[in-house]
Chain A
Amino acid sequence: MLHEYGHIAVLVIIALVFPAGALVQSWVFQFVRVRPRVSSDPVKEDTYECGMVTRGSSLPQFNFGFYVFALLFLLIDVEIVFLFPWTLVFEEAGAAGLLKVVIFLATFVVGGLYAWRKRLLEWR
């Protein structure tokens, strides 16, 4: 059984080498004159901003909604991780296990309903 994971490990190496190979090939092509050589040019290397001269920092202020949703995601995702083992031992756990999972999920449902009530799920 474990050697199947070994196959995945070999595949990880291939999966990293294959795209890197494509990039290296494209990079090598400039020396065999298939591709124009990379030339440095102050205008060309400027940050793209629809043709205008770039102004200001590239780190603008963000909508607060992004952070709220990230926090909610963290709350729920950690909880869902614990449900994965439960699906595999479902028969052994039985009705008692299901009841415990319902109680476990209820904590998150209450939190989610609170967030909903507080209008945190609206994108502002």
Chain B
Amino acid sequence: MLSFLATDHWYDLRDLANLYRVVLEGLDHIFPTGLVYVLTALLGFIAFFVVFVLPSQLYVGVYGERRLIGRMQARQGPNRVGPLGLLQPVADAIKLLQKEALTPRSADRLIMWAAPVLFVAPAILIFAVIPFGPRMVFADIPVSLMYFLAISSLPVIASFMAGWSSNNKYSLFGAMRIVAMSISYEIPLVLGLLAVSVLSGTMSLQGMVYWQQDIPTWMILIQPIAFAVYFIGVSAELNRTPTDIAEAESEIVAGYLTEYSGMRWGLFYGMDIAYALGASAFAATIFFGGWSLFGLEQWVPPWLIFILKTYLFYFVFIWTRGTLPRLRIDQLMSFAWKFLLPIALINLLVVAVERLIWTSNDLPDAIVWAFGAVNIVLMVGIVFIWAKVFKYDPKKRPTKPRLVNEPGGYRPVDLEQGGPSL
């Protein structure tokens, strides 16, 4: 399985871990072990941050997303600073650093300053367990799925701190909304990912990539329900446009960010993009085969495959953001509790039964394709049944505008009396 990584020369850049290991062995001869231990972590972090997070933050996140959203909304997007507007993220960063950080008189100063720091920390910590290649994991822990779920539910607390400490009505409304929405979508999300863990029999992200490489398959083909639940749940937790009721600018000024300005706001904004990238990387890992691509990873560097998959998935996030209108809070809540939670539970039990059949009868690996077919049929069936139960019938919607003077139509306005009183 790992035969394509038989060479471990430093110049074998298909796996950057080779280069890294050679540097570490060199350091081990010079420094004592404890220092090397800290240096390992620092070097790994710098490599991750400089190679992946920072460029993607600036260019894919800020620039690419604004250009794409601009195109989707039939406008130009940033195109003034530098060629094609490529220097726009740098200009934004400089502008944010120069701006004054206002703190309202009645705000709770300490918590208001601490909230952006606590919001940023999980965004960096998420990337610790994401496998970029066969050995390119910052911390290869056996429970990295649980680690991811635990860390990704922390920023809600920071958002609530921001909303509460601002001492502003809009901030508090936004904070309450984000907490209510996050906890609602947390449950289907966890159940959906548990189903993935049950089928692959591991909770390590690296293990899931190997599992998909061995079959070989992609998890999305076998568990479409888990993927749908994950995608909807995570886009609700990320607070992006179809579900961004917490900072809905047309309802509650900017939600929990109302009182934030300057670099403190910039940290919130930048880390929203980092969370979206983290969620994309996670989805690419467990649903799209991670760094493996049906044997192609022997020739192309696995980290390149992985980063491309992550960006493709991030594009889907941008796409939904540019396409879908914002939902109301009652729609979001009932969707999470009445649709996503039941189908995630049913999916978990069905997958558990499938796995039991697979292991107890010692069936070949190809049986997962049968499971995949069953799950796809199950998904279609559930959506159909739910639509029937909740009587969603598109035909009953009015197809032509109702006239004001027909029976049951809108009441005509008497202009002589100055129209309806408010």
Please list the residues of chain A having a beta carbon within 8 angstroms of any beta carbon in chain B.
1, 3-8, 10-12, 14-16, 18-20, 22-23, 25-27, 29-30, 34-36, 38, 42, 44-50, 58-60, 62, 65-66, 69-70, 72-73, 76-77, 80, 83-84, 87-88, 90-91, 94-95, 98, 101-102, 105, 109, 112, 116, 121-123
Contacts and interface: CB of A to CB of B under 8 A. Distances in A.
Among B103, B123, B124, max chain A CB count under 10 A is at: B124
Interface stretch (B60-68, B182-190, B284-292): B182-190
Interface in B184-225: 184, 186-187, 190-191, 194, 197-198, 201-203
The 9 closest A-B pairs by CB, nearest first: A123-B330, A10-B41, A19-B120, A26-B263, A15-B124, A15-B121, A73-B183, A45-B105, A4-B139
A25 B97 contact: yes
B361 to A, nearest CB: 12
Contacts of B123: 15
27 contacts: A1-B141, A7-B139, A8-B128, A8-B139, A10-B45, A11-B45, A11-B138, A15-B124, A19-B119, A19-B267, A26-B99, A26-B262, A34-B97, A35-B98, A47-B166, A48-B104, A48-B170, A49-B169, A66-B180, A80-B190, A90-B201, A90-B352, A91-B201, A95-B356, A121-B334, A123-B333, A123-B334
Given A3-B37, A11-B41, 20 more contacts: A7-B41, A11-B125, A15-B124, A25-B263, A29-B98, A34-B97, A47-B107, A47-B167, A48-B253, A58-B169, A69-B184, A69-B337, A73-B186, A77-B183, A77-B190, A83-B194, A87-B194, A88-B202, A88-B203, A90-B355
Nearest to A14: B45
Interface of B: 37-38, 40-42, 44-45, 96-107, 113, 116-117, 119-125, 128, 138-142, 146, 166-170, 172, 176, 179-180, 183-184, 186-187, 190-191, 194, 197-198, 201-203, 253, 258-259, 262-264, 266-267, 329-330, 333-334, 337-338, 341, 345, 349, 352-353, 355-356, 359-360
A12 B40 CA distance: 14
Contacts of A49: 168-170
Which one of B146, B267, B337 has the greatest number of beta carbons of chain A within 10 Å? B337
A84 B101 contact: no
Contacts of A91: 201, 359
A109 B353 CA distance: 18
Nearest to A63: B176
Most chain B CB within 10 A, of A29, A58, A77, A116, is at: A58
Nearest to B140: A4
A116 B336 CA distance: 13
Given A7-B128, A34-B97, A47-B104, A70 B359 contact: no
Interface SS majority for chain A: helix
Contacts of B197: 87-88
Contact of A94 (B201, B329, B356): B356
A29 B117 CA distance: 19
A40 to B, nearest CB: 9
B117 A23 contact: yes
Nearest to A115: B337
B100 to A, nearest CB: 6
Contacts of B267: 19, 22-23
Nearest to A113: B342
A11 B117 CA distance: 14
A119 to B, nearest CB: 11
**Interface core residue of B121, B202, B259, B329 (most chain A CB under 10 Å):** B121
Contact of A60 (B40, B169, B330, B360): B169
Contacts of B42: 10, 14
B99 to A, nearest CB: 7
B100 A76 contact: no
A48 B258 contact: yes
A90 B198 CA distance: 7
Contacts of A42: 105
